[in-house]
Chain A
């Protein structure tokens, strides 16, 4: 059964730093992996989706990578800003998970001005 883990649970960095958020999964037979951000009291905003055939996706200051062999995905945030403060979640579809995204618990990111 697929399990998705995000470590650390929380991260605090000064503004302007580049940072990496980690997502690990146990079953390499994934269909795709999606990164989301969630602001307090709000729903989830899709950031990037990586298909299993892709190695990375980029959107603005965000870059997500996927390494199926090691069971890892990373979300790189360049030149962090206070507005990047949120909880970041990754979720994976595996080929045997039917229609269910398997979610990590998220990393709460705080960017200090």
Chain B
């Protein structure tokens, strides 16, 4: 079956632009996570959804970051007024049931802010 997919794979934005990153989790997976990964580092947690409910958004670095999963499947991570420090790879993961289950990752979206 299909794995987690993300689009676009690469995004270049000028500073100040808004961007939207999409994640399609594995069908039927309840849990969905967003991570930010800087070069040479492990992923940093951003936010967690269980179905359509956003249960933890404590990792979002500022109020410019917003995530949604309105129907409990596809999720969008939106970054407003992008800044250079937002440049990173944004990873999405899903798991079948609760947060503590095995997570399956998408290929990521590499965001470069000029």
Contact = CB atoms under 8 A, between A and B. Distances in A.
A52 B64 CA distance: 37
Interface residues of B, number: 26
B72 interface: no
B56 A34 contact: no
Interface residues of A, number: 23
B56 A44 contact: no
B66 to A, nearest CB: 18
B105 A43 contact: yes
Given A31-B100, A98-B56, A99-B56, A43 B42 contact: no
Contact of A46 (B58, B59, B102, B110): B102
Interface of A: 4, 31-32, 34, 36, 41-46, 49, 89, 91, 93, 98-101, 103-106
